[in-house]
Structure 1
Amino acid sequence: MLYKLNLENILFLDIETVPQEENYAQLEPEKQMLWEHKTQYQRKDEITAEEFYERAGIWAEFGKIVCISVGFFAFDGDDRSFRVTSYHGAETDILKSFKNLLIEHFGQAKHLLCAHNGKEFDFPYIARRMLINGMKLPYKLDLFGKKPWEVPHLDTMELWKFGDYKHFTSLKLLANVLGIPSPKEDMDGSMVRQVYYDEKDLDRIVTYCELDVVTTAQVFLRLRGETLLANSEIKKV
């Protein structure tokens, strides 16, 4: 039962990713060949591997993380707050900072990680990028040998499915149907590569990522039947 979980033990998160290189031509020939093979069934016949490369951020083998935003609940008596912070910049620095957060503040058995579509994207992507960057996985991301009920991950998309695995429900759609006010976003996930490489506006990406963390927390509250966060309860730290 969701309402039995202690909100203070949950770390909400979201990641933003881009292709490892700005352009396909910057890839080494072997990596170009591997990209072509990896995407041959995803691409339409008329779309070349080079044209498809703008979507490379979806795959951890060909992309990189440019921002991880996290949020957590804090209570002071009857006062509730949701504190949001972000790690951005060089990917190795992002991953090290996030790993330290997990070890130092969310490493106990009671702690859980929560993201929208996190089990299919965010959690495995972070774990793969850590290994690619030569980092040992923290306990919360090392799933080897764990039974399903021992995996410390929550996924708001999975919770919404109620056992139905036929379709994907976006965070934006779920927030809409649950009556959660839509934040004033000036971009969507498909624009992250352009904003990062062409506009070089990382701050805009960070803001977008943080809004998704807040929205994920709001969805979780609605799934528990609790009052949504007011703007005054959301704190940037």
Structure 2
Amino acid sequence: MLPTIALDQLLLLDIETTPATAALEQLPADMQRLWIEKMAKTAPESENEAEAYEDRAGIYAEFGKIICISAAFFSLENNAYHLRMKSFYNDDEAIVLNGFLGLVNKFYSKYPAFQFAGHNIKEFDIPFICRRSVIHQLSLPKPLQLYGFKPWEMPMLDTLHLWRFGDIRHYTSLKLLTAVLGIETPKDDIDGSMVGKVYWKDHNLERIAAYCQKDVIAVAQLLLRFKRIPLLKEEQVILVK
């Protein structure tokens, strides 16, 4: 499987997002009204708007922000693949985005035909990064200038889509996919639904970054499994500061 994909030309990534503010009432008044309007259209039978904001605003680029992006790439050393990974995390979203976009530019200069890789990045991570970059008026690197691309032209290797095998309706979480393919992952003390609370209540960015990095490693292991290559050992994952 994946015979034409060169692992060293993939930039793996995962993002962690939260609501833009700790509570709905902290948003500007016009944004509060727009959130209530959105909930009335998308979840009319849901809990009250304030609770919905705390639980779900982080999945919408218009009402959330990125607090961490972890990125990694494969390198072949002594006939074995290693994974080099770096995380960008900060309260200031522009700092996070600038760090990641700079990495994209560097990777593009070395591998002009590279692809992004991740789980559900076509529908979530990449669009979220692009939208938030536009909001901050940041220049998008050429690999993220995706206007007019047909779905099959996107420079992305999405493990969700690999597992779909053409079934556009099927969704499988990263946690489930690693489990079914026999890939052991560390037990986490948080999951994606808890990131907003960990950030706004505990302000523990390092804990969130560690969680984000584990998802990137999981994607790397999936790609190796798809290609029937031995999985990474702990010492083969290098965290770059």
What is the number of residues matched between the two proteins? 237
TM-score normalised per structure 2: 0.94
User: In the alignment, which of 126, 133, 136 is matched to residue 139 of structure 2?
Assistant: 136
1:145 corresponds to which residue? 148
Looking at structure 2, the residues matched to 101 and 143 of structure 1 have their Cα atoms a distance apart, in angstroms, of 18
How much does 1:120 deviate? 0.5
Residue equivalent to 1:12:
12
Q: Pairwise mapping of residues 14-33 of structure 1 onto structure 2 (< 5 A)?
A: 14-33=14-33
Runs (4+) of structure 1 moved beyond 4 Å?
none
In the aligned structure 1, how far is the partner of 2:95 from the partner of 2:140? Answer: 15
**Aligned equivalents of 2:23 and 2:152: distance in 1?**
42
Q: Report what 1:70 is aligned to.
A: 71
Q: Quote how far apart the aligned CAs of 1:46 are.
A: 5.5
Contact 1:11–1:70 (CA under 8 A) maintained in structure 2: yes
Residue 11 of structure 1 contacts residue 106 of structure 1 at CA under 8 Å; is this kept in 2?
Answer: no
| Aligned counterparts of 2:185 and 2:34: Cα–Cα separation in 1 | 39
Matched, 1:168 2:184: no
The 8 Å contact of residues 8 and 74 in structure 1, kept in 2 or not, is answered as: yes
* 2:72–2:86 contact (8 Å) kept in structure 1: yes
Matches of 1:173 and 1:79, distance apart in 2: 27
Q: Which moved more, 1:6-15 or 1:223-232?
A: 223-232
In structure 2, the partner of 1:56 is 57
Give me the whole-angstrom Cα distance separating, in 1, the residues matched to 2:172 and 2:152: 23
Structure 1, gaps ≥5 residues long: none
**Matches of 1:26 and 1:41 in 2, distance apart?**
22
Residues 67, 88 of structure 1: 8 Å contact kept? yes
Give the CA RMSD over aligned residues: 1.4
- Tell me which residue corresponds to 1:95: 97
Partner of residue 200, structure 1: 203
Matching residue's letter, 1:21: T
Q: Residue 132 and residue 46 in structure 1: after superposition, are their counterparts in 2 closer, same or farther (change >3 A)?
A: closer
- The CA distance in 1 between the partners of 2:30 and 2:81, in whole Å, is 52
Match of 2:234 in 1: 231
